Each structure stands twice: as structure tokens, then as C-alpha cells.
Amino acid sequence: MTNILVVLVLCCAPLVAFADDDGGAPAAAPAVKPPSPPAVLDPRGDGDEGFEKVDGSMLKGESIPADRLVGAAYGFILLAFVTYAVSVALRGRRVEEELDALRKKLEGK
């Protein structure tokens, strides 16, 4: 229980530090307009400004498809969650057994 309180305090501390004087949420930073790009003279005159279409032939070094990486990430998260849930269940069972043993000792006195 104290660990949860410590985590909450540590997570909320930055919010309090950046709050307005009236206690409200921090104000949004003023929007800054990015500078406009310099004018580019197109010697060919076709208006494409030098951009070329990418067809994927330059990406020959890539060997793992994205769907496998995403699947592996979700699998890792699922495995971590199941491991955590089993750990909590085992610790809960151990606490229940210790409580039962203490109740039996108290009834025996």
C-alpha cells in the first residue's frame, strides 16, 4: 500500500510543480509559427521541387517485417502480464495460508 502511495506522489509531483498560481492545470505553451522554408528555384521547371518517389528498392537491408515485430511486442506484453498475475495469485495464496495457520494458533490458546 505504501508503494502505491509513493508512486502516486512521485507521479503527481511534476503536475503540482508546473501548475498555475491559481492551482489550475499548466498553461499550454504559446504556439510558435515555424519559419517558412526558403524559396527553391526549380531548374527543370516541372514543379516537383526535386522530390523523387520512393519505390522501396533502397530498403534492401531490412529483413524483419513490421507485423512480426508488432506481434513480438504484444506477445512480450502478454507474457509479462500473465507472469505478474500468476505471481500475485501465488503470493495471495501464501498469505491466506499464513493467516489460516495464525487463526489455528490463536484458537488453540
Q: Is 91 exposed, middle or buried (0-12, 13-18, 19+ CB in 10 A)?
A: exposed
All structural domains of the chain with their residue ranges: 66-109
pTM equals 0.41
Q: What tens digit of pLDDT does each residue of 27-39 get? A: 555 677 777 776 6
- Best CA proximity match to 49, nearest among 37, 59, 38, 40: 40
CB 48 within 8 Å of CB 42: yes
Q: What tens digit of pLDDT does each residue of 29-88 get? A: 567 777 777 666 555 555 556 777 777 666 666 677 788 999 999 999 999 999 999 999
**Mean pLDDT across the stretch 12-20?**
51
